[in-house]
Amino acid sequence: TREERRQRKIAMRKQREEYAQKQKEAALRRAADLVHSNRVPIEITRGAAAAQAAANAAVAAAAVPAAETVETPPMEPPYKKGRSSIVISTASDLDQIVTHSNNLWAKYNAIAKEHNQKVNWVVVAKELGIHVKVREKYARMHARAKSRGFDFVNWGHYRIKDYPQYF
């Protein structure tokens, strides 16, 4: 009936929201762990050319010869991957991701200077699991909010959609 369909839609929406929240928390946790870990991308220490050569070698080693491939029936199209594994909804989420990205950039830049390399934001964004344009958007939103006097400590629970005058 109509009521059952409505209840099913509500349950599906709630399930999607819970899943998105769990994914966001996990991604923010990974970002925090990344900042505190000793892991450094190969692009920083050996340069982009060496990193690309290593990636190409890994792909070539994992490739299956054409003769061994098996025909598979066409399946449904894959789920479209978004630009970001971190979708922010509150001000504290925004503050966390921008702080993590800035800390990670500072860390990687210090290491890169020792190796006479430069770090660009693409490396940082890739490590965080977000697209570089998404990182730039979040940084702009954060800077705009700070310049407009937003207090991330006291108003961190504010939803970004509800306060466009700050973000």
The pLDDT of residue 146 is 96
pLDDT, averaged across the chain: 82
Q: What pTM was estimated for this model as a whole?
A: 0.68
The pLDDT of residue 50 is 59
Residue 161 DSSP label: G
Across the range 98-107, mean pLDDT stands at 93
State pLDDT tens for residues 78-96: 455 566 767 788 999 999 9
Alpha carbons within 13 A on the beta-carbon side of 115: 17
Q: How far apart are CA 102 and CA 120, in angstroms?
A: 12
Are the C-beta atoms of residues 128 and 101 closer than 8 Å to each other? Answer: yes
Are the C-beta atoms of residues 32 and 107 closer than 8 Å to each other? Answer: no
State pLDDT tens for residues 40-77: 887 777 765 555 555 555 545 555 444 444 454 455 54
